[in-house]
Structure 1
Amino acid sequence: MVELNTHDHFLKSKYRLLLDGDPQAAAHRGVLEKYREKAEHYLCACLGRNINGADNVDRSPGGMLYVRQWNNLQYASSAAFLLTAYSHYLSSSSASASAALRCPGGAAAAAEMVSLARSQADYILGRNPLRLSYMVGYGRRYPARVHHRGASIVSHKEDGRFIGCVQGFDDWFGRGRANPNVLAGAIVGGPSRRDEFRDDRANYMQTEACTYNTAPMVAVFARLHRLTTAITTAAAAEDPDGGSPDRRSVDRR
């Protein structure tokens, strides 16, 4: 729980600095307000709340936020992070009870932003038309031919022969078989606008794994875990017996 507490403290301190008018930010208020305006405009775009439809972020038929063909999940994961962080700010003690994101097409509460962030996380982890997890190593089905040199070439422990750049390309890149090493935890570029995905090592636009795909999701998963834990704890406190029947009624039978 230390990691989650650190994450929450980081978000709360940063967003108080940027959004609550912390005295330390006074000297840079003009610049910070521009960042805030752009961030809120993008949040509204993800939520489809800009009046001009062209300013909103597209979604695939399966619900994935879509920006461009090449490595689109970098945008879906970073949007999920921003939605999670801003919703956390709105629901924190520093925000008023009626706090909401004000968009041209209507206000959005923290719960709606968390819901959209969760939907993107669910999509990445396999709740999508292909029932395919785009996080390598997670779930029953995930990309097996990730565009990644270390994953696609046999390990030195298994085969101690020298493999240079030429050998790596000639002997391993074009192989149709699954990678010999599972790049566990990596998130690939992801599907097309129509939720289509081709698991091919040469299809680098969709199968390349990037750190900036996975990094934002660390915070998203941490926050969603915290929220789920809080709900579970609250439910247990309300019903300490876990919904078990009253012992006296059982005895009477």
Structure 2
Amino acid sequence: LSVESQYLTHYLYYSWQRALLNKDSNFEQYKQAAENFMCKILPYSPSSSTQYTQGGLMYKLPQSNLQYVTSITFLLTTYAKYMKATRHNFSCGNSVIVPNALISVSKRQVDYILGDNPIRMSYMVGFGSNFPKRIHHRASSLPSHALLSHSLGCNGGFQSFYTQNPNPNILTGAIVGGPNQNDGYPDQRDDYSHSEPATYINAAFVGPLAYFASGKSA
């Protein structure tokens, strides 16, 4: 990092820390907005407006639904850490919400994505024994150039696209769009809404994974 980048990183970090722990101006307004949002996420909250599948996954839209799940899981885990650091609870109606309530919901989503779901499918490619084999990803689905006797043109990949064979290249660690609202996953390349991986799905998942990998299950 350049000196300027390091300065900006430190400034943003300490500004965030100061806002949360020292209660800068407007903090209460932001805190209330955050807690209202949490109340709409928690399944047992009287003001909950979040849909869950029968298997327990948050469900918003058919297109790459796991982007919403990983993002909300990151927010739940982050806010729970703040609550623990400041010994803070909040209320959703008559229900008192403690940090572990957020952690519990967050962990359930992480477990679901990694295979604890009705079809025992890990939605992280390469993790576990049952994961998506036909993801919507060009480099993963095309054979290695070293194995081909000819070059592929712009339209040369469709034979690989439409085959039912598993992708020859495993995109280890990628998270696909996820299951449908009935907890089903057809594992088809052309079903990009469910089978396409994306960095914005993975990015938000790193924080919760690091938290739980450190042994902080609650």
Quick check: 1:62–1:195 contact (8 Å CA) kept in 2? yes
The 5 A counterparts of 1:130-149 are: 130-149=119-138
How far off is 1:185 after superposition? Answer: 0.3
Partner Cα separation in structure 1 for residue 23 and residue 105 of structure 2? 29
How far off is 1:72 after superposition? Answer: 0.8
Query: Of 59, 70, 95, which residue of structure 2 is paired with 1:106?
Result: 95
Query: Of 159, 168, 171, which residue of structure 2 is paired with 1:180?
Result: 168
Query: Of 195, 209, 220, which residue of structure 1 is paired with 2:183?
Result: 195
Identity value in percent: 35
More helix by share: 1
The 5 A counterparts of 1:156-171 are: 156-159=145-148, 161-168=150-157, 170-171=158-159
Q: Which entry has the higher C-alpha Rg, 1 or 2?
A: 1
Please, what is the CA RMSD of the aligned residues?
2.6
Partner Cα separation in structure 2 for residue 48 and residue 81 of structure 1? 17
Partner of 2:63: 70
Partner Cα separation in structure 2 for residue 209 and residue 105 of structure 1? 40
Quick check: 2:47–2:92 contact (8 Å CA) kept in 1? no
Quick check: 1:18–1:36 contact (8 Å CA) kept in 2? no
Could you report, residue by residue, the CA deviation over 1:78-131 in whole angstroms, capped at 9, with x for unpaired residues?
Answer: 111111101111111xx13xx113323522111111111111010000000000
Partner Cα separation in structure 1 for residue 171 and residue 32 of structure 2? 38
Quick check: 1:77–1:217 contact (8 Å CA) kept in 2? yes
- In the superposition, relative to structure 1, how do residues 109 and 173 fare at CA in structure 2: closer, same or farther (>3 Å)? same
Partner Cα separation in structure 2 for residue 78 and residue 107 of structure 1? 24
1:151 aligns with 2:140: yes
Partner of 2:201: 213
Quick check: 2:39–2:47 contact (8 Å CA) kept in 1? no
Partner of 2:83: 90
Could you report, residue by residue, the CA deviation over 1:145-202 in whole angstroms, capped at 9, with x for unpaired residues?
Answer: 000111011122333632232112x222111111010010001011111101110000
Partner Cα separation in structure 1 for residue 13 and residue 110 of structure 2? 22
- Look up the SS of the partner of 1:166 in the other structure: coil
- In the superposition, relative to structure 1, how do residues 63 and 105 fare at CA in structure 2: closer, same or farther (>3 Å)? farther
- In the superposition, relative to structure 1, how do residues 50 and 180 fare at CA in structure 2: closer, same or farther (>3 Å)? same
Partner of 2:17: 16
Paired residues in the alignment total 209
Query: Of 110, 113, 116, which residue of structure 2 is paired with 1:124?
Result: 113
Quick check: 2:55–2:183 contact (8 Å CA) kept in 1? yes
- In the superposition, relative to structure 1, how do residues 35 and 52 fare at CA in structure 2: closer, same or farther (>3 Å)? same
- In the superposition, relative to structure 1, how do residues 165 and 18 fare at CA in structure 2: closer, same or farther (>3 Å)? farther
- Using the size of structure 1 for normalisation, the TM-score is 0.74
Structure 2: which 5+ runs fail to align?
1-9
Structure 1: which 5+ runs fail to align?
1-8, 232-253
- Using the size of structure 2 for normalisation, the TM-score is 0.85
